[in-house]
Copies of this chain bind each other. A is one copy, B any other.
Amino acid sequence: MENQSKEFILQLEKSERLRQSIRAVSLEMESATLLMQSSLLLVHQSRPVPEVLEKAKVQIDVLKGLFHRLAEILQECRGQYYRYHGDWRSETQMVVSKLAFMHWLETGNLLMHKEAEEKLGLDSSEFFLDIEDYLIGICFMSNELPRYVVNRVIAEDYDFTIKVVKFLRDLYVAFRMLNLRNDFLRKKFDGIKYDLTKVEEVYYNVKIRGLITSGDSSQDLGMQT
């Protein structure tokens, strides 16, 4: 009984030490993401997008460094990625949501799972971006869009509403295809539908007042969905 206890103490302490290192890293992740978020906020106040992105991008390297540290910590316990996953997953979801928002501001496209992994330097088969974390991050990103589209209209950028409606419709269709079974994800996915409805209302308000200038855009929008 005593020998067994001694062995357990060693193992439980090792596990506790790992957990503490992981938590220290995820605290730093949270902090870097908040800094990124503070920069991104200015996009709602019509600051030029490139300027806003430049500042926010500084944190990507910080985050890359943190994920590298996390990967190193996890090498001490091969095959136990999911044992400690709960200690960094919500922070990772936040990181994905900010990266996806930045990517969309820059390219108008959805940040792919592979691209998110590349940005964070997650290239090994041992340490990767869990698909559910990626999907939840994308849902959080979608939640930013209604506010953003309202502020674009305030800044008299009416045509922009079309882009957002298109993007969210595609995203909604893509998520629906996934036929999600996970309850948490399903609930977050319902949020996309809510965001889409709000964005469509903004577009309808703009459209009905004849504020859309680009001739064929509305038909275009009508056809695709």
Residues in chain A within 8 A of chain B (CB atoms):
1-2, 4-5, 8-9, 11-12, 16, 31, 34, 37-38, 41-42, 44-46, 78-83, 85, 110, 112-114, 126, 131, 135, 146-147, 150-151, 153-156, 165, 169-174, 176-181, 197, 200-209, 211, 218, 221-225
> Would you give the shortest CB distance from A186 to chain B, in whole angstroms?
11
Instruction: Tell me which of B45, B153, B205, B222 contacts A155 (CB under 8 A).
Output: B222
Instruction: Tell me which of B80, B112, B204, B208 contacts A4 (CB under 8 A).
Output: B112
CA distance A170 to B221 in the complex (A): 32
Contact between chains at A176 and B38 (CB < 8 Å)? yes
Contact between chains at A200 and B151 (CB < 8 Å)? yes
CA distance A80 to B147 in the complex (A): 39
Instruction: Tell me which of B16, B41, B153, B170 contacts A176 (CB under 8 A).
Output: B41
CA distance A44 to B221 in the complex (A): 11
CA distance A80 to B85 in the complex (A): 11
Contact between chains at A9 and B209 (CB < 8 Å)? no
Contact between chains at B181 and A12 (CB < 8 Å)? yes
Q: In chain B, what residue has the closest Cβ to A203? A: B154
Known: A1-B112, A41-B176, A46-B223. 17 other contacts (CB 8 A): A5-B177, A8-B135, A9-B177, A12-B181, A37-B176, A41-B172, A42-B225, A45-B169, A45-B221, A80-B81, A83-B85, A150-B204, A151-B200, A151-B204, A153-B208, A155-B222, A205-B208
CA distance A208 to B80 in the complex (A): 53
CA distance A135 to B8 in the complex (A): 10
Contacts of A135 in B (CB 8 A): 8
Contact between chains at B201 and A5 (CB < 8 Å)? no
Contacts of A38 in B (CB 8 A): 173, 176-177
> Would you give the shortest CB distance from A204 to chain B, in whole angstroms?
5
> Would you give the shortest CB distance from A2 to chain B, in whole angstroms?
7
